[in-house]
Structure 1
Amino acid sequence: MTHRTIPCGPDNPLRVLVVGAGSMGQQWLTTVTAAPETELAGIVDLDLDAARRSAADLGRPDLPVGSDAVALAADTGAQAIVNVTIPVAHHPVTTAALFAGLPVLGEKPIADTLAQALSLAAAAEVSGELFMVSQSRRWNPQLFALRGMLGELGAIGTLTTEFFKAPHMGGFREEMAYPLLIDMAIHAFDSARFLLGADPVSAYCQAYNPPWSWYEGDAAASAVFEMEGGARYAYNGSWCSPGAETSWNGTWRASGEKGSALWDGDTEPVLVADVQPAERARSPYSDIGGALRVFVESLRTGTSPMGEVHENTMSLAMVEAAVESARTGQLVLVDDVLDQAYAVALRDETRPDVRAALAGWPSVRGALAPHQAPPPAASA
């Protein structure tokens, strides 16, 4: 999708508001402050005291704060926002920003529901502003190396992820119906799409909650996705699994016609195959700092980045398909999930211009597919 450009970069830093002063907001405040491409213009939070504490912690007690992103942007001359609010607030905060002429870099997920994500994709089209999701694990150089290895294995039959952690985070995650699938597994699902270069066709998932779990909802799940081209992606994880914990990235195995590739999530992946080693591209970026750099570059150049809302929506579709399968006990077709979300998006959309854009889509996959972005130029 084409979007408005802004002359910005190290010599002309982009003035940014961070919206959300929670724990993840603190990481973004540090990242935005440290990046030469950006200048922190203010902090937005419904809890103004929390915003002021965050400013003081940065050593900038006079930094402007406010409870409304659009209003504070107008007051401070901010040019973009980083949306680090809770998922239920992603849609209203991002919509308001886009139509106020503010491009958005948002934390995952795109929105609280797939229907709202489709609404935001249409809102980006209508507003002409960039909305990029910081799917930060996409920028891991080791993941790029693993992707290169998959290219040497010929046809891929199976890609698997195991994820076992036991965090006591408190807050909204421990109250979710499907905390692992909704809040965490999307990282792995998105990485699987990147590794395979394919989108999901169907999902079968079982979710459950071990008796010792401190989560209200199902904190463990096993899911199998059929991907375009016929490969299967299998995810097995638990968010209440103490002992022998995996990396936060999970552990990965790819099985192809010429061999296998393994990644423990923390160190360099290993190729186990009788093939001639090839020079593999690596990401020049990493983590949320990399996502921020790409966001600024995309605003300056007009290029469509990985994580652009259209490109990222299918990762959220994987989540909703897995949740629907876990809820019903049935195999779920992703196109059915997309069609149901599209009907809800049309029904619930309150902006006539966004509803008209949605109504003009030839199909949901058709609207999303043209926006698939290739990986950025990478260094060997």
Structure 2
Amino acid sequence: MKPFRTVIAGCGGMANTWVEYALKRPDTEIVALVDLHPQSAENLKIRHELQCPTFTSLTEALEHTNANLVLDITIPDAHKDIALTAFAAGCDVLGEKPMASSLQDAQEMLEAAQNAGRTYAIMQNRRYLKPIRAFRDLVHSGKIGKPGFATANFFIGAHFGGFRDLMDSPLVLDMAIHTFDQARFILQADPVSVYCHEFNPAGSWYRGNAAAVCIFEMSDGSVFTYNGSWCAEGAFTAWEADWRVMGSLGTALWDGKNLPFAEVVTDPEQQAFHRDAHRIEAELLWEGQEGHFGCLDEMFGALLENRVPETSCTDNIHSMKMVFGALESARRGEKVLL
């Protein structure tokens, strides 16, 4: 019997990516597919030539299989029910972001995982890119000194159509979790407070606020600022954002696409209006898979090694606090403690 007897919950969206990954693992067997819409499960089964049964209820699937792992690729509003059902049946859960559709739900899910002694990890695929790993290493190499101020600019004109166009806070609620989690990863720090101003710029095709400016105070004493818009036409940044981290001895830069680099003061004791600086290129040392597969490698590796995964719910809750803290700050028009 293979170690990971896996149920796929949610057969649309990113399900193909998760199934493709699972099928590549010799230690993983997909024992059931679950979706409220039977045809979605059947389509996924046919596409990947799976032999497992399909269900419309996770409870029913767990009752009829010997599953010990649930991969949750459902919509955010369903994540809480999926996780609690899985934990009650003795299963670990690896799920898509965001962790939940509210901070209260996320906290309940975290507590349920801990009470059941189960692992719950959340997909944060943008941590698993060679350049961001190199950027984080450069920031913490000591070369730029102590980080004190970090900025991320995210400007994309995204004509999705559908539900995002109708959301109250499409940028912060649906997208900013990626950049906020990247900030925590890059700085290796957690949020302490946030002030956020949400707005909808002229020319926006969204009903809700498609732009935001956020100021986060972080646990290492640094400040992280986020400037973002999903209705910015022309001169797009990368989806991974455009980053600048300023330290006491220099500045590290990453445009979200190319190799990060830093400009570092050559002589900290130099008496000059502008001190001389030299350029340092980041090194691409990380050799893991990138994107979703890289994050899944970490999740499965943690289960095999009986350790806490990097994107465990106990870590990801801090990224969730950034999202919902920003929304609360925007609503109240004041700084919010996290």
Gaps of 5+ in 1: 1-7, 335-380
Once the 2 structures are TM-superposed, how far is the Cα of residue 54 of structure 1 from its aligned partner? Answer: 1.8
Q: How does 1:1-380 map to 2 (within 5 A)?
A: 12=2, 14-60=4-50, 62-151=51-140, 152=142, 153-274=144-265, 282=286, 284-334=288-338
Provide the secondary structure at the position in 2 that maps to 1:306.
coil
Once the 2 structures are TM-superposed, how far is the Cα of residue 280 of structure 1 from its aligned partner? Answer: 7.3
Counterpart CA distance in 1 for 2:171 and 2:284 is: 32
Structure 1 residues 212 and 28, CA gap change in structure 2 (3 angstroms): farther
Query: Over residues 11-68 of structure 1, what are the superposed CA-to-partner deviations in whole Å (9 max), with x where a residue is unaligned?
Result: x4522222112222233223323344433333211011111112222234x4421111
Name whichever of 170-179 and 116-125 sits farther off. 170-179
Provide the secondary structure at the position in 1 that maps to 2:78.
helix
TM-score (norm 2): 0.89
Query: Over residues 190-220 of structure 1, what are the superposed CA-to-partner deviations in whole Å (9 max), with x where a residue is unaligned?
Result: 1111111111111111111124323221111
Structure 1 residues 32 and 242, CA gap change in structure 2 (3 angstroms): farther
Structure 1 residues 38 and 287, CA gap change in structure 2 (3 angstroms): farther
Provide the secondary structure at the position in 2 that maps to 1:303.
coil
8 Å contact from structure 1 (residues 160, 235) kept in 2? yes
Counterpart CA distance in 2 for 1:250 and 1:100 is: 40
Structure 1 residues 232 and 99, CA gap change in structure 2 (3 angstroms): same
Query: Over residues 287-314 of structure 1, what are the superposed CA-to-partner deviations in whole Å (9 max), with x where a residue is unaligned?
Result: 2112222222211211111111111101
Q: Report % sequence identity.
A: 38
Counterpart CA distance in 1 for 2:18 and 2:48 is: 12
Query: Over residues 254-290 of structure 1, what are the superposed CA-to-partner deviations in whole Å (9 max), with x where a residue is unaligned?
Result: 1111111111112221122247878775263422112
Q: Which has the larger radius of gyration?
A: 2
8 Å contact from structure 1 (residues 140, 283) kept in 2? no
8 Å contact from structure 1 (residues 13, 36) kept in 2? no
Structural RMSD (CA): 2.1
8 Å contact from structure 1 (residues 164, 241) kept in 2? yes
Once the 2 structures are TM-superposed, how far is the Cα of residue 95 of structure 1 from its aligned partner? Answer: 0.7
When the two structures are aligned, how many residues end up with a matched partner? 323
Provide the secondary structure at the position in 1 that maps to 2:163.
helix
